[in-house]
Amino acid sequence: MLKLLIIEDDVAAAASLKHGLEESGYAVELAHDGESGLQQARDGDHDLWVIDVMLPKRDGLALLKMLRDEGRRAPALILSALGKVDDRVNGLRAGGDDYVVKPYAFVELLARIEALLRRARSLSSPETVLQLADLKMDLLGRAVTRAGQEIDLQPREFDLLEYLMRHAGQVVTRTMLLENVWEYFFDPQTNVVDVHISRLRQKIDKSFSPPLLHTVRGTGYILRMEP
């Protein structure tokens, strides 16, 4: 079981986060201030840290920087209530791997945790071919086939599919797609991502079976075999 450490001083928020993550199959440890958080992160063998920025005794970014300086490499997800434009940059500069602004949706947080854990596992083997069922992506030749048939994708559709393939079996949110495929760190008010997804779906799913690209209501999308 993967082990997560949550350093968050809001006891109620931390408890509900712990509950949700345990339901999703993770072992969760809690710390409620910067000092004990630092100690627990040093002592424990966690697969990922979730760190709130504003913490009593030692702030989250200083704490993370300290852990990084000591050579500890667990992926870190930063939680912030500030949400200013440069917060994200400061968080990443301190050694964070991703960043979520409060109040966040639990599914958003969960999706990002899963993406970070997956990234940590797959860093060692850079792939050049991605495959799910009969859908194949050749990243070097930038070619896509399904059931042996070539599929013509626009460059952005290719990037979109690559991101979904790299996170196959895992929910990705619209915000994650905007950040990773388009590199926009804000959410447009128009359903721009949904329309791009439905175009991609036309190309990879419409004349084939089973459908691979599914909508997860209220959350985002998932690429997988079973519906």
Partner 1 sequence: MSGIWLAVSLLVLAGAAYWLARRRQQNLALLRNRLVAVTQSVRQTGDNIAHDLRTPLTRLRADVEAALRQEDGKVHRAALERVLDEIQGMQNIINALLALGQAEAGGMRVKKKTVDLTGLLMEMIELYAPSAEERQLTLKGRIDPNLTIEADRQLLARILSNLLDNELKYVPAGGLIMLSAAARGDKLEILVEDNGPGIPEDMRDKIFERFARLDPSRTVSSGAGLGLSLVRAFARVLQGDARVIESSLGGAAFIVTLSTSAADVSRPAP
Interaction between residue 16 and partner 1 (CB under 8 A): no
- Candidate residues 156, 169, 207, 225; the one interacting with partner 1 per rule CB under 8 A: 156
Interaction between residue 191 and partner 1 (CB under 8 A): yes
Q: Tell the smallest beta-carbon distance from residue 194 to partner 1 (Å).
A: 8
- Candidate residues 62, 192, 201, 205; the one interacting with partner 1 per rule CB under 8 A: 192
- Candidate residues 3, 68, 72, 199; the one interacting with partner 1 per rule CB under 8 A: 199
Which residues in 67-96 contact partner 1 (CB under 8 A)?
A: 83-86, 89
Residue type, 147: A
Q: What does the block give as tokens for 115?
A: 């993406």
**Residue 44 to residue 73: CA distance in whole angstroms:** 13
Total residues at interface with partner 1 (CB under 8 A): 20
- Candidate residues 186, 206, 226, 227; the one interacting with partner 1 per rule CB under 8 A: 186
Alpha carbon distances (Å) from 104 to 56, 80, 178: 21, 9, 16
Beta-carbon-side half-sphere exposure of residue 75 (alpha carbons within 13 Å)? 21
Residue type, 205: D
Q: Tell the smallest beta-carbon distance from residue 46 to partner 1 (Å).
A: 30
**Residue 59 to residue 84: CA distance in whole angstroms:** 17
Q: Which stretch binds partner 1 (CB under 8 A): 69-77, 129-137, 141-149, 177-185?
A: 177-185
Q: Are 16 and 105 in contact (CB under 8 A)?
A: no
**Residue 200 to residue 203: CA distance in whole angstroms:** 5
Q: Tell the smallest beta-carbon distance from residue 87 to partner 1 (Å).
A: 10
**Residue 77 to residue 19: CA distance in whole angstroms:** 18
Interaction between residue 126 and partner 1 (CB under 8 A): no
Interaction between residue 188 and partner 1 (CB under 8 A): yes
Interaction between residue 152 and partner 1 (CB under 8 A): no
DSSP states along 46-104: -SEEEEESS-SSS-HHHHHHHHHHTT----EEEEES---TTHHHHHHHTT-SEEEESSP
Interaction between residue 185 and partner 1 (CB under 8 A): yes
Query: DSSP code of 5?
Result: E
Based on CB atoms, which residue is closest to partner 1, 106 or 208?
106
Residues that bind partner 1 (CB under 8 A): 83-86, 89, 103, 156, 182, 184-186, 188-192, 195-196, 199, 218
